[in-house]
Chain A
Amino acid sequence: MNETTQEPSQPIVKNQKQALGIPLAIVIAGGLIAGAVFFGLKGNPTPSPTAVAPQAQQVAEQDAGKALENMKPVASDDHIRGNPDAPIKIVEYSDTECPFCKRFHETMKQVIDEYGDTGKVAWVYRHFPLDQLHPKARKEAEALECAGAQGGNDTFWKYADRLYEITQSNDRLDPAELPKIAQYIGIDVSKFNECLSSGTYAEHVANDLENAVATGGRGTPWSIFVAPDGTKFPINGAQPYEAVKQLIENALKSS
């Protein structure tokens, strides 16, 4: 007897293709994740991210809210746009070659346009270059610091605004553009080049990156919203202006 019948409560169709679908999907899923782990751990000779790896693992085990307390306090050596004593601070960890950081840069400019003049919000900029995705971002972060070192806080922001304006993101900015930006904003190009090639600010950038990871940052833009009472809220990604505005309004109402 080749013909079989089944109880109504049993599957009516025992399709071979359907039966193959599940293990195939699971094998593909497993393969992808295993591949991600393998290549991710094997493939990166860059020293800095490797150096932060144990810390990242440690942070992953911590409560996400507690990790925010690892944020380096806002200090006078930070790059701040708006009133440094503003009750609300938004500390952004950013990668100049990330397209979403470029988008969020405009959002934050809009925030400062609305809340900066009244002294209610301060925007603090820190570096979070993702070397594996954007190898050029680390040097660009140093370029921002070199501009700031030469002309102060305003020059830092002018350089940052111009860089975000002209970069096409995803590592497409020609490094030759960096001194051109310096020239564009009116600082001494030879001093700028000297600063950039000396790597004076490499450690500063590395410290920012390390702090971003310690606070729970896993991608960019990564921002920490500090309310007037000191409560910290993480903002992951390029959130719309309306979302940032609502957070600000809530914080102002409850203060």
Chain B
Amino acid sequence: MTFVRRNIGYIILALAVSALMLAVAILLPNSTLLTLLWASEGVSVLGKLSVTLSLLGSLVTNFSLLSALTTVTISILVGINIALMFYLYRRQKYFLTRGSVATTSVGALFGMFSVGCAACGSIILTSFLGVVGGIGALTYLPLRGQEIGILGVLILGYTTFLLVRTITKPLTCDIL
């Protein structure tokens, strides 16, 4: 309990970032719908909000079990990574290496690329590569692109490990 009380700010930060990341990941495939909807003058703010919130339910309807799990895991890991980085910066005055920031970003990027892999090609990657290149690429992957999400989890798991190790390591000068 003392640990929770002492670090409540970081825990809230981790939860907030995780929730935000998850919401973005779920809503990203329908960014055009949301852009047009929120720009629409004929729909009330409440109506726009209700559509946006109801689209979050696509985590159940538009994701396979594996892609839902990787998306949730990536969101949690990104939240933890950001909170740990803030902790390092504020408590230990440790200046983050560009490496740890870059690796976390790469992991998060992989997470975003894997979004909606399950939806028969409607992933960010296929949008990025075009319908032919994207879907063609998926046929060569045994898990039809969900590997990208797993890779994102591994990369973020690795950065989390590095950050925790740095935090728990005594402040010493290393022999190179």
Q: Which residues of A contact B (CB under 8 A)?
A: 2-6, 8-15, 18-19, 21-22, 25-26, 28-29, 32-33, 35-37, 39-41, 43-44, 49-50, 52-53, 56-57, 60, 64-65, 95, 98-101, 103-104, 107, 130, 132-134, 213, 216-222, 229, 231, 233-240, 242-243, 245-247, 249-250, 253-254
Contact = CB atoms under 8 A, between A and B. Distances in A.
Interface residues of B, number: 72
A218 B99 CA distance: 34
A240 B119 contact: no
B66 interface: no
Given A22-B106, A44-B132, A56-B130, 18 more contacts: A4-B175, A4-B176, A6-B173, A12-B171, A14-B174, A18-B97, A21-B159, A22-B102, A36-B125, A49-B135, A60-B130, A100-B62, A100-B119, A101-B120, A237-B58, A239-B55, A243-B55, A253-B47
Given A18-B100, A220-B121, A229-B42, A246 B51 contact: yes
Given A21-B158, A231-B40, A44 B136 contact: yes
A254 B42 contact: yes
30 contacts: A4-B173, A4-B176, A8-B93, A13-B174, A15-B162, A21-B158, A21-B159, A22-B102, A22-B103, A32-B148, A33-B125, A35-B140, A36-B133, A39-B140, A49-B136, A56-B130, A56-B132, A218-B134, A219-B123, A233-B36, A235-B33, A236-B122, A237-B119, A238-B58, A238-B61, A238-B119, A246-B51, A249-B47, A250-B51, A254-B42
Interface string B11-34: 000000000000000000110110
B62 A238 contact: yes
A98 B120 contact: yes
Interface in B87-143: 93-97, 99-100, 102-103, 106-107, 109-110, 116, 118-123, 125-127, 129-140
Contact of B106 (A25, A98, A243, A246): A25
B62 A65 contact: no
